[in-house]
Structure 1
Amino acid sequence: MATKKITITIPEELLEEIRADAAERGVSAYVAEALWAKRDRDRLVELVDWLQEEHGPVTDAERAAALAELDSIDAEHRNRRGGGSGAVA
């Protein structure tokens, strides 16, 4: 994928943390990954907004069912990892 060099301004403390977290992959790769993730989240918000316009808002029952399904998936992941402690790894 082609790349382009840009200049951005961020708080100094944040840059220090990013440099520490980015390590060998570098700040540019770290920032690019964060921007891809942000873009994906923005697109999901647009999808949710559109779905709610088309089908109405999510009901409390639907939300509860979805959260229960996520809990079930989390429990399955813990079991597969052999860590039934309740903490998500």
Structure 2
Amino acid sequence: MTFTLYSLLEAALLVVNAIAVLNEERFLRKIGWGRDTVQPGAAYYQGGYASPQSTKSQIINLVNSVRTVMRFPLILLNTATIILLVLAG
């Protein structure tokens, strides 16, 4: 098995899929990573610059953004990947 650009892109697609399928009610809130665990006012703007956020709140925002923005592109990318794998064998 060789390491190619396609295998790197496929691995990235799998990671984004893993982030996208995390269920907030079943999994994220139980470990304290739900949307309601981010402190209100954690990202207030002061003088044109955002206040520094904790790493945990940045990861929570990233997970929520991936789940929101990447829903339809993931459907298309997964479909294209499956078709390519079926055709290539």
TM-score, structure 2 normalization: 0.29
Answer with 1 or 2: which has the greater Rg.
1
TM-score, structure 1 normalization: 0.29
Q: Structure 1 or 2: larger strand share? A: 2
Q: Larger relative CO (CA 8 A, sep 6+): 1 or 2?
A: 2
